[in-house]
Amino acid sequence: MTQNNNQIIPIPRDSLEGLEALNGKIDNFNLQLGKYVSYERGSFKFNFPEGKYNRFLSLKDYRKAFEYEIERNWKYVKISTFTALTASRLLVGLGNATVLENGLTLHHIHGFPYVPGSALKGILRNYIINTIFPNNSQAESDKNEKNSDEKLALEDIGFCDLFGCPKESIYKEARKGKIYFLDAFPSGEVTVEHDIMTPHYSEYYQSMEKRTPEPPADYYSTIPIPFVGVAGNTKFTFHVGVDKQDANLPVSENSKLSSMASTLLEVALIGLKEALQFHGVGAKSAVGYGYFYEFKEN
């Protein structure tokens, strides 16, 4: 076991010296976050340059290649694009496995943060279910059926056309959605910053199985839990698409989504902007993380 001023690491000394020499010089942030992060013991401060990391050297070239691939391979798809700024820190993929036990979604090759298209589709789907299809029926509430709002949504033809649906829906057969949600990437410089959450009563909640747990009060010690997130005021570019043959596909008059817009693509764009602004994406949205503002069409 080898010890230095900050850490105790059970590896040979020459290997430790090599790792220390790399600290702060690793270009791929995904490797640094996923495989090796050093910290000052007791301070919960990670040894990234100045507490931040913004050396995503390949991001600019990747954006150019991404836009080129959209033009080359998506010629039969109408793509609508808009940009937005993060109103606060962004924490997509907090549950990902890392040496910090709190992750961040990063490109697996180039290492920069991004928002997966699946996450965007998910928050829009959830937002529409909660805002357009709330179940206020006392009879359904008495049944205590799980996901009754979603069941109502799956009986809506516009909802199924937009997101796709399983057999248990209005179509009586599994169908895929007509709208494409592409990954959202930072449009300019992006910075990853340190953050800390401090649960105050962890011991109380962990001792709930005991007969007489000590009630939550100031005598419990806070437990700082470090993690990293994308800094606020970071611009992201979002792409939403539909096959050109369905570009002007109207929303059925029988669909509740017709109250939002006249075409499926417009519903997706309007709904996604509202979801990003009022619902948020990623973890800790209940305390202000993951929201966007200043939307601009491209």
Rounded distance between C-alpha atoms, residue 98 and residue 104, angstroms:
9
The model's pTM is 0.82
Task: Give percent of the chain with pLDDT exceeding 90.
Answer: 39
Whether residue 116 has pLDDT greater than 80: yes
Give the residue-averaged pLDDT of 279-284. Answer: 92
Confidence at residue 167, expressed as pLDDT on a 0 to 100 scale: 84
pLDDT-derived band at 205 (thresholds 50, 70, 90) equals confident
Whether residue 3 has pLDDT greater than 50: no
Confidence at residue 1, expressed as pLDDT on a 0 to 100 scale: 42
The DSSP secondary structure of the chain, one letter per residue, reads -EE-SS-EESS-HHHHHHHHHHTTT-S-HHHHHHH---EETTTTEE-SGGGEE---TTHHHHHHHHHHHHHHH-TTEEEEEEEEEESS-B-TTTTS--TTSS---B-TTT--B-B-HHHHHHHHHHHHHHHH-----HHHHHHT-TTHHHHHHTT-HHHHHHHEE-SSSTTSS-EE-SEEEPPBEESS---EEEEEE--S-HHHHHTTTSSSPPPS-TTSPP--EEEEEEPSS-EEEEEEEEEGGGTTPBPPTTSGGGGT-SBHHHHHHHHHHHIIIII-SSTTGGGTTT-EEEEEE-
Q: Between 91 and 213, whose confidence is greater?
A: 91
Most confident of 26-35, 193-202, 245-254: 245-254
Chain-wide mean pLDDT for the chain?
82
Confidence at residue 32, expressed as pLDDT on a 0 to 100 scale: 76
Confidence at residue 214, expressed as pLDDT on a 0 to 100 scale: 75
Q: Please write the tens of the pLDDT for every residue from 26-40.
A: 678 887 777 766 656
Whether residue 234 has pLDDT greater than 60: yes
Confidence at residue 171, expressed as pLDDT on a 0 to 100 scale: 84
Whether residue 23 has pLDDT greater than 70: no
Whether residue 243 has pLDDT greater than 60: yes
Q: Between 10 and 137, whose confidence is greater?
A: 10
Whether residue 57 has pLDDT greater than 80: yes
Whether residue 294 has pLDDT greater than 50: yes
Confidence at residue 159, expressed as pLDDT on a 0 to 100 scale: 93
Confidence at residue 37, expressed as pLDDT on a 0 to 100 scale: 64
Whether residue 190 has pLDDT greater than 80: yes
Give the residue-averaged pLDDT of 57-78. Answer: 88
Whether residue 172 has pLDDT greater than 90: no
pLDDT-derived band at 146 (thresholds 50, 70, 90) equals very low
Confidence at residue 24, expressed as pLDDT on a 0 to 100 scale: 57
